[in-house]
Homo-oligomer: A and B are copies of this chain.
Amino acid sequence: MADIILASQSPRRKTLLEWANIPFEIVVSDSDESFPETMAKQEVPVFIASNKAKAVLEKLEQLQEPHQQKDALKDFCIIAADTIVLLDQLILGKPLDRQDAVNSLSLLSGRSHQVITGVVVLYQGKEYAFSETTQVDFHSLTLAQIEYYVDHYKPFDKAGGYAIQEWIGVIGIKGIQGDFYNVMGLPVSLLVQKLKQLGID
């Protein structure tokens, strides 16, 4: 069986792969998270995930002994993911500070947005990519609720400034359409099916 490498330091993605009973190791490497301005927003998560996966592949290649390189790498399966929050055509990234988080949640309040996670799997020299979209419908939130959440949960590492599995998601989200775990950061059931198709499970 191939060694599965999760190219992410997100604790949620780690937790989700563990819940799926998939054995894996974490290897991360810095990569460029920018994207071409003209790119369709829906394609951004796969584009960034692809760069994350390639950066980890390079790192692993550098760690290999030169003579082992080609064969040894065939046994790695690298999984990378990137999640964006899309409100109409506006990407809401990780908040820069408290005010940015409050602004982000104020924009999401009382409306529907999309959470898109792009996943890239590098295996045996090939790249497999897919993305999954979940619609999330927020109740109207009061400013007091938003500030309470931001001050107590400090969602600065979360796209859009919230986590669906935290207080704000429990009391503030009316419903979703699609995969809940995709909103947490990884469309696990689709990933499991993809790994099965590739003969990795």
User: Which residues of A approach B to under 8 Å, CB–CB?
Assistant: 16, 19-21, 134, 139, 164, 166-167, 170-181, 188-189, 192-193
Measured CB to CB, the closest approach of chain B to A118, in angstroms, equals 17
Measured CB to CB, the closest approach of chain B to A110, in angstroms, equals 13
Whole-angstrom CA separation of A72 from B3 in the bound complex: 63
A175 contacts B177, CB within 8 Å?
Answer: yes
B173 contacts A189, CB within 8 Å?
Answer: yes
A179 contacts B189, CB within 8 Å?
Answer: no
> With A176-B178, A177-B175, A188-B171 in contact, do A193 and B139 touch (Cβ < 8 Å)?
yes
Whole-angstrom CA separation of A177 from B177 in the bound complex: 4
Q: Which residues of B contact A188 (CB under 8 A)?
A: 170-171
B171 contacts A192, CB within 8 Å?
Answer: yes
13 other A-B residue contacts (CB within 8 Å) besides A16-B170, A173-B189, A174-B179: A19-B167, A19-B170, A20-B171, A21-B167, A21-B171, A139-B189, A170-B189, A173-B179, A175-B178, A175-B179, A175-B180, A176-B179, A176-B180
Q: Which residue of B is nearest A188, CB measured?
A: B170
Whole-angstrom CA separation of A22 from B90 in the bound complex: 34
Whole-angstrom CA separation of A193 from B174 in the bound complex: 11
B175 contacts A20, CB within 8 Å?
Answer: no
Whole-angstrom CA separation of A180 from B188 in the bound complex: 16
